[in-house]
Homo-oligomer: A and B are copies of this chain.
Amino acid sequence: MAGILRLRTVTLMASIFPERITVVDVTPGLGLVETQSAELFTPDRPLRMAGGAELTSVTVAYETYGELNAAKDNAVIVCHALTGDAHAAGWHDGDKRPGWWSTLIGPGKAIDTNRWFVISPNLLGGCQGTTGPSSVNPATGHVYGLDFPLLQVRDFVTVHRALLEHLGISRLHAAVGGSLGGMQVLQWALDFPDQLDQAIVIAASAGLTAQNIAFSAVAREAIMLDENFLGGRFAEQGKNPDIGLAVARMMAHITYLSEDAFTEKFGRAPQGATSDPGFGVDFAVESYLRHQGETFVSRFDALTYLYLSRVMDYFDPFGDATPPQISPQGPKILVVSFDSDWRFATEHSLRIVKQLAARGAGVSFRQIHSPWGHDSFLLDVPDYLDTIRAFVEAEVSTGRALRPDLRRIASQVPRGSRVLDLGCGEGELLRHLARQGCVVTGVERDGAAMVEAIRAGVPVLGLDLDTQLDEFADGSFDVVILSRTLQAVMQPAEVLRQMSRIGDHLIVSMPNFAYWPHRLRLMSGDMPRSSDLPYRWYDTPNLHYATLASLEALFDSLGLVTEKRYALSPSGRSVGAGANLRASSAIYVLASSRGS
């Protein structure tokens, strides 16, 4: 068996952005890391695969970083993507390159190996130490080739769980993975939610699009049409489908980077100074791609490429007729996408979020701005790394004193309610409500505020109120809150309509344009300003003003019934009669048509 173990270095990150390696702190604290190996399934205890087949011998290559603590509650597993090996962090002793996820994992990194015990296995079906289609089939003594059973993402989870058992670990603090790795984490969270405190799903998909499948299909065609593929039996005849595999890799590689990343890296620079125009390597980008194709052939197996790409095509974890519920006490889930990723664009992550939310899971979501495309998850993108760290290290904070208006809003929310706070900021109100037994979700667009909410253990979704509220299912919350935000959205009526669809009760607060000092300001020819409307007319987040009377007219026209109204002075005190004149803002508790 050892003869077919090919422990090669796959420094994907280094191969994509070699020049960026120098700016990454390459985890000197870990030093050289040795790849270990475990035989997890044997004839006595075969691997029963999701598709029905059995494997009587499965060896897994893996590495670990950090120390397992006595309570065994600090373990984090890394699920790898299409081309990663077991070497996620530290230095590899082969060519002295850092592991492929050294941006994320190491001493002091976002996943801090001084605190967490990190486990990084190579995948079933792989070609870098774990049993796969180029391993020898013990039943025949020959390489499996295309006789290796088709994989499902569940099979990866089965093998990962066997590795945990082998290591004596019953429960994980977190499972984390990008792309194909994120699919494994998602499947794990759905099938074995009690085994995970946290699940981190990065740049992944729960259902490839036709275009996604098309790219992989062409890559597989290139491999299988290669004259040296020989029906998958190439190894036995001492051949390799080099050309097909190189073309496949070149093409796939284009999809891993954004167009801007290519432009920044290469532009239209020629390759070499004196090249004659022709059909060779005229442009730098051509040289780079050819290099990618050639080096890939030397470290990756054509059969593994077929199996690991095909498993993604079929992944459809939410396709079941009866979707299982996930307890809010189940794993906290973080979904991350990158705005320049066009391989698995943000829409893929949003679909995952929507499906998880519909099953009751506590989900956070953030789209990270990064120019690099799909491979951003491997790169040094500070907003991304900060978000992961805040999530992994989140602790429920002790209470701070709430602002008076938020205190008043909190007093209107029944204990145990499902609460959605639109524009939740750092989540102060939701932390308070969570302590009161509410099941809370926030929506916030500001990245820094989101990270603080995540750090405080509040599930928060980075969505746009004007365009993305249809992510929430009808009646999925008891109370939907919009505090001092209605005036800043583009379409106030539409936002209220969506809130009414989503929740039984709404709590809305808004400044009052007809507050008497505003009237006096305009009467004297000036634009109204006050502590509730502090901005200059041309430099303000506020796009729509309303008097309390005109706001209430809109509520009426939308069928929203005012159950309570708190008209407030600038200091937050209640105002009695004459609210439209005397109140600088008001809080409304409204019953939606669904709630009334």
Contacts and interface: CB of A to CB of B under 8 A. Distances in A.
How many copies of the chain does the oligomer comprise? 2
A215 B518 contact: no
A570 B545 CA distance: 23
Given A150-B278, A527-B546, A550-B526, A285 B254 contact: no
A526 B547 contact: yes
Interface string A165-184: 00000000000000000000
Contacts of A146: 279
Nearest to A550: B527
B283 A210 contact: yes
A54 interface: no
A306 B283 contact: no
A277 B314 contact: yes
B538 A546 contact: yes
Contacts of A217: 250, 283, 285-286, 289
A270 B224 CA distance: 20
B213 A283 contact: yes
A209 interface: yes
Interface stretch (A36-44, A124-132, A153-161, A257-265): A257-265
A525 B546 contact: no
Given A263-B211, A283-B210, A221 B527 contact: no
Contacts of A268: 207-210, 213, 316
A267 interface: yes
Contacts of A314: 277
Contacts of A525: 514, 519, 547, 549, 580-581
Contacts of A262: 209-211, 214
Interface string A249-291: 0110010010100110111100000000111001111100110
Given A282-B313, A537-B546, A247 B218 contact: yes
Given A210-B266, A283-B210, A250 B218 contact: yes
Nearest to A528: B522
23 contacts: A150-B278, A210-B285, A211-B259, A214-B262, A214-B289, A215-B251, A217-B283, A218-B289, A221-B246, A221-B289, A222-B222, A222-B247, A268-B316, A279-B310, A282-B313, A492-B537, A493-B539, A513-B527, A519-B523, A526-B547, A536-B550, A537-B546, A538-B554
A210 B373 CA distance: 14
A225 interface: yes
Given A522-B523, A525-B581, 13 more contacts: A209-B259, A209-B263, A214-B285, A215-B254, A218-B254, A221-B246, A225-B246, A491-B538, A514-B525, A537-B545, A537-B550, A538-B554, A543-B544
Contacts of A528: 522
A22 B212 CA distance: 28
A32 interface: no
A536 B265 CA distance: 50
Contacts of A345: 259
